[in-house]
Structure formats: structure tokens, C-alpha cells
Amino acid sequence: MTRTLLTNVHVIDCSGAEPFHGEVLIEDTRIAAVANTPGEINAAGVATLDGQGRWLMPGLVESHAHLSIDNTDDLAALGRIPPEEHTLLTMHNARLYLDHGITSCISAAAAKPRLDVVIRNAIEAEQIPGPRLLAASPWLTVTGGLGDMRTLHMPHVESMALVVDGPEAYRQVTRELIREGVDIIKLVVSGDSFVPHAGSQATVMSEAEVAAAAEVVHAHGKRMSAHARSAESVKRCVRHGVKVIYHANYADEEALDLLEEHKEHVFISPNIGFTVVAAYEGSAWFTEEQVQAMGFREELASAAQVVGELRKRGVRILGGGDYGFGLTPHGTNARDLDHFVNYLDYSPLEALLTMTRDGGQAMDRPDDLGQVRPGFLADLLLVDGNPLEDLTLLTNPDKLVMIMKDGKFHKQPAL
């Protein structure tokens, strides 16, 4: 048995309680004891690390990961990357996430059907470093939906989407992807600002298509996530058991009521990071006229209103999302925490919970992931500085003195 005692640390346990000065004992992969009194844990025969008053917290959970995107804004370019190179790219991004303190990821779509599966399996076999990963399918979209890059004269353009039309086709493709090992089927139920003929308030996937995918997913004990901005798309997702709904920024009163009714089984991941950058920091990508035409600021304001209402109703909200594009490069994921404070009226601790405790729940591991508590997995970060005073510390890997996953050092402190 490997035993490590971290002493002289300020613990943010992410249970919702206030931080305390204490010590934490790790045995093999799990946290064995947490004490708020120095010297309370017997240190005999235990390797001891003095944290020197630094801040200990759980590893981060990214709720909307795209490990196989290469910081591009050209979805068609992803389809042109050969599988071998694409696997190496995804391996690199998996390590980069762990280097930035992200110890768990819920994938929100892979750029090729088996990319996430291969990377997940290699991480679990300890062949490559990376966060524990729930592997997703590519986007399943409809003709003319987000990710359909084809035209009539170019009918075979690859992207990160599989274009599927009709209920029976959704059953077949969903079965194939589950056969290949994915954990999550990702549906594109609504349009988006980037689709000229199907904007964010359009609902492009039919009820029957969503139901057909759900039928197969639930029969196999898997899970679904969905890109759903429009009110009707959110309702279709809730009615058919989608576990993580991304965006939901135009949810109406009926959608809010449905989400509240099903709040024990659904999570909302608003993914405002991309929208914030596009609205206020995207001059290298968008002119002011484009920002206004695409409605990024209105989209952000609507998201803030919806999230505020969902919080009142007890619906769980997740941080992170849509990093890996040119506007939002991999490794900047923890910026979401500051965005939650600045745009969604969260306190720093409340924001942190969205990427720790609540992320553990969304990973279906509420009793062993996302908190510094006895029995939980030892996914831990030691931060040089108080994240609750400066959440941007978590965007700087140099400030992460220690990164531990499953009780093993990915980055060992030089203390």
C-alpha cells in the first residue's frame, strides 16, 4: 500500500463548506482521512509532504470536452486529418488537459467515431497520461444542421459530424457507435449562430429522431448529451432522457418547468466561454457587425437569465465547455470559472463547485469524485495561491504545484 500525507495545506474540499487548514492522507488511489487539526493523522511510516500553506482542492472536471479538436475554427479541416495523426493530436490534448489540472472529462463529441474510445482505453490502461474520460460519438446531426459541411456539388465533405436523417437511420448509427465502444451519444438537436439557415432558435432534429436514438441508448445502458439552444430542443432532450444538455440558452418557461421536474436526472452545461470571447474578445475573428448579426451578446444575456432561473429551481449547472477552438484554445478551460462569476452571478466557491463536486455527479460518480473527502478518489491539485481569491490561478499550470490523479503524481511538488 502506498501512503502519502499532505500536511500544512488549506483545504477547499468542494463539499460546499468553507476552506480550512488541515491535512489529508492518501492510501493507494483514494483519500483515507481528512483532518482540520494539524497532527491529528498518525504519520508513522507515511511519506509526508509539507504543503507550505498552499491550497489543496479536487481536480477539475471538464463537462464539454473536445479532445480531438486542434484549436481550429474550420470543422471541415478536422475531417481532412488522417486517423493516425488525429490520434496523436488527441493524445497530446489529453496530456495537456491533465497538465492543466483537469483530471476528468465528459466528452461532448469526437472528431472521428473511435477517437475518444481509443484514447479512453489507453488512459485507463495507463499507456498514456490523460484525464479519466467518458468517450463520446461524433455529433449526430441532420441534413443542414450544425456540422453538415456538404453542398450539392460537394456531397462528401467530412467534419466532426455524422449526418443522419430519419428515425431508423438514428437507430442504426447509434447501435454502430455503441458497438464501437462509446459511452455517450451526442445529438445536435438545435441550430446555432454559425449555421446561416438554421440559427440558435431553430430545432432541427425531429422528435422521432431524438426518440429513436434514445430508445437504443437506454436499451444499452448508455447515455446521451445534446447541443440544444432552442426552447423546443431542450424540451425534446428532457422528454427523452438526455443527461447533459449543452447551452439551453433560449429555454422558455415550459422548458424550465420540465428541467425542474427532471432535475435529479439532468444537467445543464451552458458553455458560455466561447460566447464571452466571441462577444467581447473576438476582434481577430469577428467584426463588430458580425458580432451583432450573430447575436453573441444577446445569446450571453439570455444564458445568464436562464441559468439564474435554473439555479433558483435547483437544476444542476456544470462549468467548462467548447474549448479547443481558435477563440478558446485547449488549456484555457478554467477561464469558465471566472466567467461564471462575472456573467452568471456565482461566488468563486459556487463557480468552483460546478467543475468539481457537480462534475463528479455528472460523471455518475457522486460518492467518489470531485471532493476532498474520505473514500473519494485522490484526484487533487495543490495550488500556489488561493483560487477563491483569484480563480485565474487555475488557468496557469505553473501555479499547479502538484497534480495527482488516482493517488499517483502526474506532477510531483518540488517542496
**Do residues 294 and 193 make contact, with C-beta atoms less than 8 angstroms apart?**
yes
pLDDT at 387 over 90: yes
Mean pLDDT of 317-329: 92
pLDDT value, residue 150: 81
CATH class in words for 3-58+367-411: mainly beta
Mean pLDDT of 254-259: 99
pLDDT at 156 over 80: no
Mean pLDDT of 110-134: 98
Mean pLDDT of 143-150: 89
Query: Can you spell out the DSSP letters for 141-188?
Result: E-TTSTT---BTTBTT---SEEE--SHHHHHHHHHHHHHTT-SEEEEE
Mean pLDDT of 133-160: 90
Going along 55-116, which residue ranges are E strands? 55-58, 60-65, 102-107
Please indicate whether residue 368 or residue 158 has the higher confidence score (pLDDT).
368
For residue 6, give Cα distances in angstroms to 10, 20, 381, 413: 10, 14, 11, 11
pLDDT, one tens digit per residue, over 165-204 is: 999 999 999 999 999 999 999 999 999 988 888 889 999 9
Mean pLDDT of 258-264: 98
pLDDT value, residue 284: 86
> Strand, helix or coil at 56?
strand
pLDDT value, residue 38: 85
pLDDT at 415 over 70: no
Mean pLDDT of 300-313: 98
Mean pLDDT of 114-124: 99
- Provide the pLDDT confidence category of residue 283 given band limits of 50, 70 and 90: confident
Residue extents of the structural domains in the chain = 3-58+367-411, 60-333
Mean pLDDT of 324-352: 96
C-alpha cell at 30: 483514494
Mean pLDDT of 351-380: 98
Strands 380-383 and 400-405: antiparallel
Mean pLDDT of 72-93: 92
- Looking at the chain, the whole-number percentage of residues with pLDDT higher than 70 is 100
- Looking at the chain, the whole-number percentage of residues with pLDDT higher than 90 is 87
For residue 394, give Cα distances in angstroms to 7, 132, 328, 340: 21, 19, 16, 14
How much is the pTM? 0.96
* CATH fourth-level superfamily of 60-333: Metal-dependent hydrolases (3.20.20.140)
C-alpha cell at 387: 483560487
**Rounded to the nearest 10 degrees, what angle do helices 296-312 and 272-280 cross at?**
140
pLDDT value, residue 76: 81
**Do residues 98 and 180 make contact, with C-beta atoms less than 8 angstroms apart?**
no
pLDDT value, residue 20: 97
